[in-house]
Amino acid sequence: MNKKSLKPLAITFILSGIWDTTAAVLYIFYIGAGRLIDDPPMHSFYAVFLGSFFLCFAFLQFMSALNIRAYAINVGCLIIGRLFYVIQLYAYIGFSEKFPSTFWFTGLIDGTFIILYLVFALRGGLSISELFLPLKSV
């Protein structure tokens, strides 16, 4: 087993958890319940619902960072999820008429996290299969 340091990956996971917590607060209190941000327009239920998912993702990242090697599959899940979000966001911004470009910068931040996850995971000695396939118990 490779024992290279995964500390940079764990720190990145904590930072992305903070990013998701920030998104949760924005969606729950400013886009959802408070309606201070209304571009894109969204029913408050969906904004609060989305915010609750962001809180779940943040918790997952915080807890996974405590033992990142054991929970490497969560890194892979976040790579897939963030990649899907970035592609979907820019596809809608680029090709959907009247879709607001309000959150274009979030695609850049999430794209950066994807790259950092991959770089720090591979430098830390994790394989691609460890990121995307659960480890078998012996």
DSSP structure string for 24-35: HHIIIIIIIIS-
- Report pLDDT digits (tens) over 66-104: 999 999 999 999 999 999 999 999 999 999 888 888 889
Which tops the pLDDT comparison, 71 or 43?
Answer: 71
| For the chain, percent of residues with pLDDT exceeding 90 | 70
Which tops the pLDDT comparison, 136 or 105?
Answer: 105
Instruction: Give yes or no for residue 138 having a pLDDT over 50.
Output: no
Query: CA 47, CA 31: separation in Å to the nearest integer?
Result: 6
* Mean of per-residue pLDDT scores for the chain: 89
Instruction: Give yes or no for residue 31 having a pLDDT over 60.
Output: yes
DSSP state, residue 135: P
Q: CA angle, corner 66, sides to 60 and 69, nearest 5? A: 90
Query: CA 75, CA 57: separation in Å to the nearest integer?
Result: 11
Q: State the pLDDT at residue 25.
A: 93
Sign of CA dihedral 122, 127, 133, 138: negative
Answer whether 0.85 is exceeded by the pTM.
yes
